[in-house]
């Protein structure tokens, strides 16, 4: 069946649900590149009007990628909770937007409905929302996860310390970690992107962080962001793997491009549970996503990049991750052209992830060939802070010298916590005070003497 | 300057662990003023970003580059891709991989066939090409000439992606292609050149079928060394009649221009 809507004397027709969703999407370069975007502004708003009239129930009858050919669609359909859906089953997409914004809809009702939502429903309502709508609703969501720190409590905003080094040199990584800890950064995770995805590198870096953790008694959880198959080998060696990482895509085909299947992720979660490093019931996985990765690997199946991004979250929620992060501006201007597109996408992803029950963070970032700069990042960071973003990245001086892009800095974390009155995770905050990195009131002291217990990592020089 | 200026109070605090910088080039121990960066670090970052932005956006002087090449005694032809301007180039990688119709017609005129197609393209850093392309060619061209293989003129392309060399190679019916192309600038280096080598360059080749020599610049891989590596790879391509991962001894890197 198709859809149509008349606007200004023109009747716009949309062949199927995936076309309707694509045409309704706010403009972005990736959908143009894929040949899926609306032809003009009028067609775009006509698609949004048609979408607003569509009953949510319709999403249970029409898949954007066939059930038979895609395991992500099968996961979405098979995990759908009909009783959770009941409260909103009679709504259209347009009415669902109003329900989400209503003062009567609080954190409890949002999380009760969440298992009844498919990612396509969430993507659809997202497309007809303004930035302030995305902020309002996301700010109401509460998603709390736990490993050694508790992430996502009200009034808190966590940070992933990202101490990358182009040669994976443990001392170089350690130097950035120590700098970040002095700035009170690292309560979400200390997460290293290795330049080289091999087992020896992973083991060497894990060993260094474990030494730091045990020497400092810091309540940190670490992650080396190698491929899940590398992590499985490390776990076989009983290496100190806290969190298992994987990049996700929203289609089976694009996941194959990442070299993963859902069965492999199942196996990885089992293996991480087997190590029993976290407290009982701990969340053990860390996922990264980002609009455009499916098109980048020629696995988009004719679906727009924002809808595909929401489908990643259906994959993620199966594994109860500690952290999920949209690396929004990393992919480049052929997917998100400028600061405006990056900003909108970051808030969309955060909203969709939160609504689907995920501990959503955002890598507020850009590359040097995108039309963006630090001012755009400040605007997105501030909006995400107001929206209750679970965590952000902390990169020394905002400059990742291994991945060659700009993210948020340790200073940015100080800024957003200060202007919004946000605090680090309680366990981490207590550790900062106990070690003297912060004073009794939670203010950082920047006293280099506090680094001394960690100096064996660097061969006790200095 | 007045007396009071000399006695101005300290307005920012240093981070007294700058000795850690011996372990990493990361921007650590920057100091602070409240949550903000000290002014020098703040503007230093802007300077690095400005250099990167200018490298991406400054128009490539293809005619000037071709004149430099011709002055060395090597024939050159200026072409352009189907990306009409920089904004299109950045948003439509598919357009940057194909020759514009007039350039395609120009290269389709009867010419001597070539074993090796040679291309120089701006990619994501016109500055990388301006600074490092000739130093690479100065070493590379004599090495290639010594093999006795037929070389194409040096095709100097504006708004080109890596795969533009496939289209060029196809028109010359070449067995191999080499493209020198500006890499995506980082904050620490805006003038990195990449060399991509492809066996049987034809439209539709994918990046896993290429060999890459990356980070070619002063302070990175020296242009002379990059040229020698390229000549050796070419020799092995003709010996094994293959390229890409099967031939790789040098590390394979993803195309920095997102091709």
Give the model confidence (pLDDT) of B92-118 as tens digits.
999 999 999 999 999 999 888 999 999
Res A449 pLDDT > 70: yes
* B259, two tokens: 């091709």
pLDDT for B243 equals 73
| CA B254, chain centre distance (Å) | 13
User: Are A397 and B45 an interchain contact pair (Cβ–Cβ within 8 Å)?
Assistant: yes
CA distances from A345 to A90, A334, A362, A381 (A): 29, 14, 10, 13
CA distances from A324 to A146, A285, B57 (A): 13, 9, 34
* Residue from the list B25, B41, B91 with its beta carbon closest to the beta carbon of A32: B91
* Residue from the list A332, A369, A458 with its beta carbon closest to the beta carbon of B23: A458
User: Are A171 and B23 an interchain contact pair (Cβ–Cβ within 8 Å)?
Assistant: yes
User: Are B30 and A397 an interchain contact pair (Cβ–Cβ within 8 Å)?
Assistant: yes
* Residue from the list A166, A334, A415 with its beta carbon closest to the beta carbon of B90: A334
Q: Which residue has the tokens 């004073």?
A: A439
* Residue from the list A173, A401, A417 with its beta carbon closest to the beta carbon of B25: A401
User: Are B20 and A369 an interchain contact pair (Cβ–Cβ within 8 Å)?
Assistant: no
Give the model confidence (pLDDT) of A3-54 as tens digits.
999 999 999 999 999 999 999 999 999 999 999 999 999 999 999 999 999 9
Q: What is the mean pLDDT of residues A251-261?
A: 95
Nearest CA in chain A to B41: A397
Res B127 pLDDT > 50: yes
pLDDT for A105 equals 98
pLDDT for B206 equals 85
Round to whole Å and give the CA distance between B112 and A194. Answer: 47
Q: Which residues in chain B have Cβ-Cβ distances shorter than 8 Å to A174? A: 23
Q: Which of A376-380, B8-12, B155-159 has the lowest mean pLDDT?
A: B8-12
- The shortest C-alpha distance from A329 to chain B (Å) reads 14
CA distances from B148 to A38, B140, B144, B177 (A): 54, 13, 7, 16
Task: Enumerate chain B positions whose Cβ falls within 8 A of a Cβ in A.
Answer: 13, 15-17, 19-21, 23-30, 32, 34-37, 41, 45-46, 48-49, 52-53, 55-56, 90-94, 124, 184-188, 190, 258
pLDDT for A129 equals 98
Round to whole Å and give the CA distance between A286 and A288. Answer: 7
User: Are A165 and B45 an interchain contact pair (Cβ–Cβ within 8 Å)?
Assistant: no
Q: Which CATH architecture has domain A3-140?
A: Orthogonal Bundle (1.10)
Nearest CA in chain A to B58: A369
Nearest CA in chain B to A370: B90
pLDDT for A459 equals 61
Please name the residues in contact with A447: beta carbons below 8 A apart, sequence gap of 6 or more.
A436, A437
Res B155 pLDDT > 60: yes
Domain ranges of chain B: 56-247
Round to whole Å and give the CA distance between A188 and A159. Answer: 5
- The shortest C-alpha distance from B214 to chain A (Å) reads 14
φ, ψ dihedrals at A71, nearest 5°: -75, -20
| Residue from B91, B124, B252 whose CB has the most chain A CBs within 10 Å, to mutate | B91
Q: Which residues in chain A have Cβ-Cβ distances shorter than 8 Å to B23? A: 169, 171-172, 174-175, 458
Nearest CA in chain A to B36: A411
Among B204, B150, B202, B155, which Cα is nearest to B180's? B155
Task: Give the CB-side neighbour count of residue A432, counting CA atoms within 13 A.
Answer: 28
pLDDT for B253 equals 37
User: Are B13 and A446 an interchain contact pair (Cβ–Cβ within 8 Å)?
Assistant: yes
User: Are B41 and A175 an interchain contact pair (Cβ–Cβ within 8 Å)?
Assistant: no
User: Are A462 and B37 an interchain contact pair (Cβ–Cβ within 8 Å)?
Assistant: no
Longest dimension (CA), chain B: 78
Q: Which residues in chain B have Cβ-Cβ distances shorter than 8 Å to A369? A: 56, 90, 124, 184-185, 258
Right CATH for B56-247 from 3.40.50.300, 3.40.50.11240, 3.30.450.20, 2.60.260.20: 3.40.50.11240
- The shortest C-alpha distance from B64 to chain A (Å) reads 24
Q: What is the mean pLDDT of residues A107-115?
A: 98
* Residue from the list B15, B19, B124 with its beta carbon closest to the beta carbon of A446: B15
Q: Which residue has the tokens 């990264």?
A: A288
User: Are A401 and B45 an interchain contact pair (Cβ–Cβ within 8 Å)?
Assistant: no
Round to whole Å and give the CA distance between B135 and B68. Answer: 11
Round to whole Å and give the CA distance between A325 and A81. Answer: 25
* Residue from the list B26, B91, B124 with its beta carbon closest to the beta carbon of A337: B91
Tell me the residue length of chain A: 462
B250 band by pLDDT with thresholds 50, 70 and 90: very low
pLDDT for B208 equals 78
Q: Which residues in chain B have Cβ-Cβ distances shorter than 8 Å to A397? A: 26-28, 30, 37, 41, 45
φ, ψ dihedrals at B172, nearest 5°: -90, 0
Q: Which residues in chain A have Cβ-Cβ distances shorter than 8 Å to B184? A: 367-369, 404
Q: Which residue has the tokens 């020799």?
A: B235
Q: What is the mean pLDDT of residues A174-190?
A: 96
Helix or strand (DSSP H, E) at A27: none
A100 band by pLDDT with thresholds 50, 70 and 90: very high
Rounded to 5, what percent of chain A is helix, strand, coil?
Answer: 50, 15, 40
- The shortest C-alpha distance from A328 to chain B (Å) reads 16
pLDDT for A455 equals 62
Per DSSP, the three-state class of B56 is: helix
Of all residues in chain B, the percent with pLDDT exceeding 70 is 92
Q: Which of A251-260, B147-156, B206-215 has the lowest mean pLDDT?
A: B206-215
For chains A and B, count residue pairs whose Cβ atoms are closer than 8 Å.
Answer: 132
pLDDT: which is higher, A157 or A455: A157
pLDDT for A440 equals 83
pLDDT for B257 equals 45
Average pLDDT, chain A: 96
CATH 3.20.20.70 fits A145-435, yes or no: yes
Round to whole Å and give the CA distance between A4 and A27. Answer: 20
Per-residue buried b or exposed e for B74-102, using 16+ beta carbons within 10 Å of the residue's own CB: bebbbbbbbbeebeebbbbbebbbbbbee
Maximum average pLDDT range among A372-381, A435-444, B244-253: A372-381
Q: Which residues pair with A71 in a beta bridge?
A: none
Round to whole Å and give the CA distance between A208 and A401. Answer: 20
Q: Which residues in chain B have Cβ-Cβ distances shorter than 8 Å to A404? A: 184, 186-187
- The shortest C-alpha distance from B46 to chain A (Å) reads 9
Among B43, B2, B212, which Cα is nearest to B123's? B212
Helices B39-57 and A374-386, packing angle to 10 deg: 110
User: Are B186 and A368 an interchain contact pair (Cβ–Cβ within 8 Å)?
Assistant: yes
φ, ψ dihedrals at B215, nearest 5°: 60, 40
């Amino acid at each position: 069946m198709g859809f149509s809507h008349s606007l200004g004397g023109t009747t716009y027709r949309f062949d199927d649900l995936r076309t309707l969703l694509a045409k309704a999407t706010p403009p972005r370069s990736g959908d143009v590149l894929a040949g899926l975007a609306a032809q003009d502004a009028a067609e775009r708003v006509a698609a949004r009007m048609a979408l607003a009239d569509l009953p949510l129930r319709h999403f249970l009858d029409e898949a954007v990628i066939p059930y038979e050919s895609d395991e992500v669609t099968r996961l979405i359909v098979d995990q759908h909770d009909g009783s959770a859906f009941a409260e909103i089953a009679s709504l259209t997409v347009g009415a669902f937007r109003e329900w989400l914004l209503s003062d009567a809809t609080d954190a409890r009702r949002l999380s009760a409905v969440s298992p009844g939502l498919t990612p396509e429903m969430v993507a659809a309502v997202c497309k007809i929302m303004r930035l302030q709508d995305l902020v309002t609703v996301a700010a109401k969501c509460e998603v709390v996860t736990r490993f050694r720190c508790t992430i996502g409590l009200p009034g808190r905003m966590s940070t992933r310390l990202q101490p990358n080094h182009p040669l994976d040199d443990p001392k170089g990584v350690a130097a950035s970690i120590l700098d970040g800890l002095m700035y009170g950064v690292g309560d979400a995770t200390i997460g290293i992107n290795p330049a080289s995805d091999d087992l020896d590198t992973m083991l060497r870096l894990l060993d260094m962080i474990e030494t730091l953790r045990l020497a400092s008694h810091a309540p940190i959880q670490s992650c080396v962001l190698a491929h899940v198959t590398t992590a499985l080998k490390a776990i076989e060696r009983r290496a100190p793997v806290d969190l298992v990482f994987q990049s996700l895509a929203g289609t089976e085909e694009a996941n194959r491009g990442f070299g993963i299947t859902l069965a492999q992720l199942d196996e990885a979660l089992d293996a991480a549970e087997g190590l029993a490093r976290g407290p009982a019931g701990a969340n053990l996985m860390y996922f990264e996503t980002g609009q455009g990765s499916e098109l980048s690997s020629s696995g988009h199946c004719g679906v727009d990049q924002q809808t595909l991004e929401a489908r990643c979250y259906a994959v993620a929620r199966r594994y109860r991750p500690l952290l999920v992060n949209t690396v929004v501006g990393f992919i480049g201007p052929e997917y998100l052209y400028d600061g405006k597109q990056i900003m909108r996408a970051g808030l969309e992803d955060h909203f969709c992830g939160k609504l689907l029950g995920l501990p959503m963070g955002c890598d507020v970032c850009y590359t040097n060939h995108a039309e963006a700069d630090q001012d755009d990042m400040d605007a997105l960071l501030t909006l995400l802070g107001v929206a209750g973003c679970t965590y952000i990245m902390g990169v020394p001086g905002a400059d990742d010298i291994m991945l060659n892009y700009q993210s948020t800095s340790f200073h940015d974390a100080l800024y957003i916590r200060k202007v919004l009155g946000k605090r680090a995770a309680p366990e981490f905050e207590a550790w900062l005070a106990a070690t003297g990195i912060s004073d009794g009131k939670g203010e950082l002291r920047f006293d280099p003497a506090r680094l001394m217990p960690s100096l064996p990592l660097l061969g006790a020089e200095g | 300057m007045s007396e009071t200026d000399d006695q101005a109070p300290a307005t920012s605090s240093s981070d007294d662990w700058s000795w850690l910088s011996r372990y990493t080039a990361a921007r650590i121990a920057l100091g602070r003023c409240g949550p903000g960066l000290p002014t020098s670090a703040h503007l230093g970052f802007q300077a690095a970003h400005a250099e990167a932005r200018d490298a991406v956006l400054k128009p490539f002087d293809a005619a000037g580059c071709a004149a430099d090449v011709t002055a060395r005694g090597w024939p050159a032809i200026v072409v352009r891709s189907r990306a009409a301007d920089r904004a299109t180039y950045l948003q439509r990688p598919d357009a940057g991989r194909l020759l514009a119709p007039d350039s395609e017609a120009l290269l389709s005129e009867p010419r001597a066939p070539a074993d090796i197609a040679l291309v120089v393209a701006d990619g994501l850093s016109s500055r990388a090409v301006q600074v490092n392309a000739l130093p690479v060619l100065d070493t590379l061209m004599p090495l290639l000439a010594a093999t006795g293989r037929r070389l194409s003129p040096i095709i100097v392309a504006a708004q080109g992606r890596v795969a533009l060399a496939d289209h060029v190679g196809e028109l010359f019916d070449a067995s191999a292609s080499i493209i020198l192309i500006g890499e995506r600038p980082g904050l620490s280096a805006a003038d990195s050149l990449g060399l991509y080598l492809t066996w049987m360059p034809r439209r539709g080749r994918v990046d896993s079928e290429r060999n890459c020599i990356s980070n070619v610049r002063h302070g990175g891989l020296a242009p002379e060394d990059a040229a020698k590596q390229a000549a050796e790879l070419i020799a092995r391509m003709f010996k094994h009649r293959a390229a890409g991962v099967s031939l790789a001894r040098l590390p394979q890197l993803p195309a920095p221009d997102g091709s």
